[in-house]
Structure 1
Amino acid sequence: MVFASLVEALRAYVKMPLVWVNGAVAALAILAVYYLTYFVNETAGLAAMVIFFIFFPYFLAGTYGVLIDNNKKKGAFKIYARYGFRRCLFPNILLVLLTWFLMNLVTMLLLTFGVSAELALYISLFVVIPLVFFCYFADITAIRHNLTMGQAVKDSARRVALGSFSITVFYLMNIAVIFFASFVLSMVMSFVGFEALLPLAEMTEEALLALTPEELVTLVMTPEIIQASFVSLAITAFIFVPFFVSYKTYFFKRMLSVYNGSAVQHTAEEDGEYDEKGRWFKYK
């Protein structure tokens, strides 16, 4: 199930070109955040980031629907996106808020007991991993089964618990791809920011060790290196975001066939249809 979904996700790059839309949107958002921050101010960059997080679920919902139903009809993406936008948005907002709250709570508690800030941050990250682990499919199951935010979280947790071994392998595969993506990012960075990184590359080991932390930060945080970093990140996002979205979708699709049943009110597979505005109507 894990590797079959992986193969499908790779094939989607060619067979379902719409998956590239997610990568393009993510890449444009990264560049918009950088250029608005650099040429306008930090508030403009932050606003661009918030707008991206609010509207990206629209593209996720469209991709989820088209891939799960293998629907290549004209206008299908738009219908699924309209139907699933809010269903995809709210579970993700809940997950982000819970993650932020737990990380801050655990970090503050550990700091009061004298734990270093760096160690407290690492521990808080490990605390929120189970939350992400069980809620990872909340947005896609909310769309597929027309669930409320709370129902979607419960259904995601139940499906993860039922398929604990395959789910674990699936997450490990995602982590492996993340490491590979970071390697690709470093390669792209070395190419895009070659001229900006050249002064650092030409320095000897003794010269680098002799630098103070402030001097090292000054060398690394030049405008040219920062720009190269954002451009490299945008290129990497354009390549890998489509994979993570399609891999998640195809794996969830296979989970539906293996682990049937959920706390649903109705599903897209019941007798009914979507109209041109993305509304679902059940036949009597």
Structure 2
Amino acid sequence: MAVESFREAIRLLTQMPLLWVPGLLGGMIAAAVWLLYHFTGAFFTGRLILLFGLVLLVAVVGALVLLRDKGGDFRALIHGGFRYYFRVLLPFLVIIFMLVILFILLTITLGFTGITPDPATLSIVVICVLIPTLMLTFFFDTAAVFEDKKVFASIQRSIDLVSGNVGAVLAFYLISALASVAVIFGLMMVWEIALFEKLEPLTGFNETQMAAFTPEELMTMIGPDGIWVTAAVLFLSGLILIPLLTTYKACFFTTLSRGQISIRQESGEYDSKGRWYKY
């Protein structure tokens, strides 16, 4: 199921050019954030990341609408993005709020039991809570767009699908991770090849020098050219990964939903007269 959905996603990306719009916008945002961080610092850049993320959400939601309708023009992408914008944003905010409340309650509980929440303990708690929550609610946006679900219904729909198809969903996450690693690794190779001459002194460093090497020293080493090369690589990362993962997610959700519907239709029994009654 997960492999077939990935193949379908690749096919759709080759047939629907507008699915690359979120990637184009996301790549531009990633490059812009990197350049702004380098030239203006973290204070100004941090405030723009939220704004850029809200703008990018319009394109991503619009792409989901095109995938649901199996086509459309640029106007349909923008219209769909604004139409379902809050259908996707509000569940996301609810999930974030629930996680914050849960972390606060866990911290208070640990305090009552006499356990001092040190960074290591908090890290374990965050991982144990964050990963299952994100895995269970990962398809809330596709449920909101594809099935027109409202805020809590979209979250519940995602939880039901994931909990009822654990094996298939784990395969989906594995393929998504492998695809992301492959793209990132390939682009890292491009980055290293493009900056080989500037990075060559690193080959002579010993373990102590490498441990003491700071990001600021790396930026000085690669120079202005390296800054722009890094921006280009970040642009390509967004251009490839955002459309690929968004389309794959939509295709997998569609396949998963169809499988669940067919199973539900077969649930029932025959009475003594041979009549079929569906549960």
CA change 1:54–1:74 in 2 (3 A) is: closer
Moved more, 103-112 or 135-144: 103-112
Q: Deviations over 1:94-114 (max 9, x none)?
A: 334545665687689889946
Question: For 2:25 and 2:100, how far apart are their aligned partners in 1?
Answer: 24
1:62 Cα offset (Å): 0.9
SS of structure 2 residue aligned to 1:71? coil
1:247 Cα offset (Å): 0.1
1:14-93 map, 5 Å: 14-73=14-73, 75-93=75-93
Question: For 2:48 and 2:94, how far apart are their aligned partners in 1?
Answer: 20
1:199 Cα offset (Å): 2.0
Partner amino acid, structure 2, of 1:25? L
Native 8 Å contact 1:32 1:45 kept in 2: no
Which of residues 174, 188, 198 in structure 2 aligns to 1:196?
198
1:82 Cα offset (Å): 2.2
CA change 1:172–1:145 in 2 (3 A) is: same
Give the greater-gyration-radius structure (CA).
2
Correspondence for 1:170: 172
Two-structure CA RMSD over aligned residues (Å): 3.1
CA change 1:35–1:150 in 2 (3 A) is: same
Please list every run of 5 or more consecutive structure 1 residues that lacks an aligned counterpart in the other structure: 262-284
1:69 Cα offset (Å): 1.9
Percent identical residues: 22
Partner amino acid, structure 1, of 2:248? Y
TM-score normalised per structure 1: 0.77
**Aligned pair 1:222/2:229, yes or no?**
no
Partner amino acid, structure 2, of 1:11? R
1:218 Cα offset (Å): 4.9
1:55 Cα offset (Å): 2.0
Correspondence for 2:186: 184
Which of residues 128, 144, 147 in structure 2 aligns to 1:145?
147
Native 8 Å contact 1:2 1:170 kept in 2: yes
Native 8 Å contact 1:107 1:124 kept in 2: no
SS of structure 2 residue aligned to 1:147? coil
Which of residues 202, 207, 211 in structure 2 aligns to 1:209?
207
Question: For 1:74 and 1:218, how far apart are their aligned partners in 2?
Answer: 42
SS of structure 2 residue aligned to 1:75? helix
**Aligned pair 1:236/2:237, yes or no?**
yes
Moved more, 246-255 or 233-242: 233-242
Correspondence for 1:247: 248
Correspondence for 2:132: 130
SS of structure 1 residue aligned to 2:9? helix
Correspondence for 1:95: 95
SS of structure 1 residue aligned to 2:80? helix
Partner amino acid, structure 2, of 1:128? L
Question: For 1:191 and 1:98, how far apart are their aligned partners in 2?
Answer: 44
Native 8 Å contact 1:26 1:238 kept in 2: yes
Question: For 1:74 and 1:183, how far apart are their aligned partners in 2?
Answer: 32
CA change 1:115–1:100 in 2 (3 A) is: closer
Question: For 1:196 and 1:107, how far apart are their aligned partners in 2?
Answer: 47
Partner amino acid, structure 2, of 1:33? V
1:154 Cα offset (Å): 0.9
Native 8 Å contact 1:9 1:247 kept in 2: yes
1:229 Cα offset (Å): 4.0
Correspondence for 1:12: 12
Aligned length: 257
